[in-house]
Structure 1
Amino acid sequence: MAIKQLIKSTSGWLYLNSPVGRQQLQGAGVILMLHRVLSNDRAADLPHRNELCVGPKAFEHLLVWLRKHFDCVPLMEILQPNALRSERPRVALTFDDGWRDNAVNAFALLQKHQVPASIFLSTDFIGSRQRFWWESLGETLWGSHGDKARMHLIECLHARKHPLPVLLDDIDVERRSLALLHYLQGLKSLAPQELEELTDECPKDSLPQALDWHQVRAMEASGLVRFGPHGASHAILTGLDDARLSEEIRRSRDALNNGCNRPLPVYCYPNGDNDDRVRQQVADHDYPFALGTGTGIYRGDGDPLNLPRFGVSQRTARHPQLLSWRIYRGARP
């Protein structure tokens, strides 16, 4: 671990175990944001996967660490706390998008350690073969589907005037993966229709990328997992006109009401993007809470329609003391 990270890890550990830290965090709520749990840790280590993916060993390491330092509680226990509060800080896990590996890889570990979680579904993807553009484009460009598929997609991107950076052919794996991460981040500004067309140029996956409703209902029946909406099409809500925005929120709400027994009264903004107009629409559709991506501790104050979360990457899961450093930074008065 680099010296800077070592200092942060040590400081974070001292904070969690100091009287000052315990006092600042007493009764506070920490909401964590995850996306995927892959089948092996080496795949999650690469920079273009690191931010959204964790491996099973790293995820289990994180769960053990969380149970040691926090009360692991359902999200609604943080948002609507009981009168009785533990002296320990509380943490709630959330997963965005609704990836199939949430059921295949994450759920067994949540059950093993009895850690509850909330999963926010992009409902158009659930039970369908529809694909997340980031995954399809990223893995095709990485070469996971072979060189022929990679070259075809590169030609399509070049024709649309989205040429790849030179570093995407670098022989150094880390540099190449980091270049791919930055390139994919730059594609976020493209119109959803163009991203969908580019995704169609990628090879089909052998299995759906997203959960199906049978998996959703099975996890919900365990009592350990609850589900909420993360948009219908995963469109960035701030870029939609009023009519499309209302339809997007309504469609995801209706899908959850039909597919789940107890959908959460919490909306989760795709990409975290929201503004006054979006928050008002979410409130008008009877959601008292919504999750953003800004960092911070939840103490019952602030805007309930833009709740803070701490993102968890593979690096953070491997070294959760780094998370305690970020919590320290977010908990300061």
Structure 2
Amino acid sequence: MDSRFWDSVANKRAFVARGLEATGALRALEALGEAGRSVVLTYHRIAVPGPSNPFYDPTVSATPEGFRAQMAMLRDRFRVVPAEELIAPAGPADRRPRAAVTFDDGCRDNFDAALPVLRELGLPATFFIPTDFLERPRLPWWDHVAHVVKASRLDRFEIPRAPDDPAPIVVDLTTPDRSAAIMALIRPVLAGEVADRDGFLKRLEDRAEVDVDSAALGRGLFMSWGHLKALAAEGHAIGSHAHSHVALGTLDDRDARRELALSRTILEAAVGRPVRAVAYPYGWPGAVTDRTFRLAAAVGYRAGFTAFEGLVRRGRDPLAMPRLNVGAGDTPPLLRARAALWGTLGRSCL
């Protein structure tokens, strides 16, 4: 499916949320919501998706203007706190529900585009960093795929999942919107159908006739250690996103423990303060398991964040907290409605 389908879905969701807001139903849902629940929002990139973005569009959570509108809504309706504070009970001083703003992956636009908004509105955030991307800058595999497809001048090519694959992936580049072509390559990697990911990326470059300087592009995509120190100096929290952004639930105990511990050690040395919170890479069921939560606790983390949808409620395992992932189509009323539905019904249809 191309981006027009998803744009249509996003527009319908936003329309419903505006209706709930205009009729007063949204405020009623918020009033009915279970007390003591907190919302954690997950952001990745703050940028403009589309032709001007050379990388994977679904990692764009909001435009700079959209992000500012969302943060203004949070400031007005929630008490915004660093993510790690959610493991402690809310105090009686402020009856507003709590919210935390989190960023995964450590992209440079978090510093360039999001930080000025956070500074202007006086809001704290937590930045979860995959330390290997800062130590050895390079394109993540999903951005590598998108960059190649967007840059190719071919109309069509085929790429095998493995050198002896009898049914290669057919990549059609004849339409201006190349999102379907990108997803045709992303899905088999996520499904585990590509055993040698580096080899697959090299074959992709060859078949698409695109040369990729992954290190140079990675240096522009991610923050530097200096950026992290500046974030910490302004009072923002720095957390771990493991070391090399792998699905921890697929690793054995030794390797998963190393991913968690090494990242924490590197970050504490870089910013000069304790790192007690982690956001698990990918974060969906299977990418994290109960064993992952136990290992995170064993190496010293106090708070852990998943990609499970939902609100943080009283009594929740502090190493397995859910979040609401923010997508490019999420307007401020839509974010409010999603949080309100989770707080009232324990699920969201938006």
| Cα distance in 2 for residues equivalent to 1:328 and 1:183 | 36
Q: Name the residue aligned to 1:9.
A: 18
> RMSD value over aligned CA atoms?
3.0
Q: Name the residue aligned to 2:153.
A: 147
3-12 vs 60-69, greater mean Cα deviation: 3-12
The change in CA–CA distance for 1:193 and 1:221 in structure 2 (over 3 A counts) is farther
Q: Which amino acid aligns with 1:329?
A: L
Contact 1:128 1:210 in 2 (8 A): no
Q: Name the residue aligned to 1:323.
A: 335
Contact 2:160 2:168 in 1 (8 A): no
Secondary structure of residue in 2 paired with 1:332: helix
The change in CA–CA distance for 1:191 and 1:183 in structure 2 (over 3 A counts) is closer
Contact 1:126 1:213 in 2 (8 A): yes
2:136 paired with 1:128: yes
* Runs of 5+ unmatched residues, structure 1: none
Aligned length: 321
Quote the offset at 1:181 in angstroms.
Answer: 3.3
- TM-score relative to the length of structure 2: 0.80
| Cα distance in 2 for residues equivalent to 1:321 and 1:46 | 29
* Runs of 5+ unmatched residues, structure 2: 1-7, 206-210, 346-350
Quote the offset at 1:265 in angstroms.
Answer: 1.2
Contact 1:29 1:298 in 2 (8 A): yes
- TM-score relative to the length of structure 1: 0.84
Q: Name the residue aligned to 2:232.
A: 220
| Cα distance in 1 for residues equivalent to 2:115 and 2:88 | 24
Q: Which amino acid aligns with 2:113?
A: N
Contact 1:33 1:95 in 2 (8 A): yes
Deviations 1:194-241 (A, max 9, x none): 223444655115451221111100111011x21111110111111111
| Cα distance in 2 for residues equivalent to 1:268 and 1:83 | 25
State the identity as a percent: 25
Match for residue 251 of structure 1 among 262, 269, 289: 262
Q: Name the residue aligned to 1:195.
A: 197
The change in CA–CA distance for 1:246 and 1:48 in structure 2 (over 3 A counts) is closer
Instruction: Name the structure where helix makes up a greater proportion of residues.
Output: 1
Secondary structure of residue in 1 paired with 2:307: coil
The change in CA–CA distance for 1:42 and 1:113 in structure 2 (over 3 A counts) is farther
| Cα distance in 1 for residues equivalent to 2:53 and 2:314 | 35
| Cα distance in 2 for residues equivalent to 1:100 and 1:63 | 19
Q: Name the residue aligned to 2:348.
A: none
Contact 1:235 1:270 in 2 (8 A): yes
2:92 paired with 1:84: yes
Quote the offset at 1:26 in angstroms.
Answer: 4.6
| Cα distance in 2 for residues equivalent to 1:280 and 1:147 | 48
Secondary structure of residue in 2 paired with 1:310: strand
**Which residues in structure 2 correspond to 1:1-333 (within 5 Å)?**
2=11, 5-11=14-20, 14-18=24-28, 21-24=30-33, 26-38=35-47, 40=48, 49-81=57-89, 83-143=91-151, 146-147=152-153, 155=159, 159=163, 161=165, 163-165=168-170, 168-171=172-175, 173=177, 176-181=178-183, 183-190=185-192, 194-199=196-201, 201=205, 203-204=212-213, 206-207=216-217, 208=219, 209-223=221-235, 225-272=236-283, 273-316=287-330, 319-332=331-344
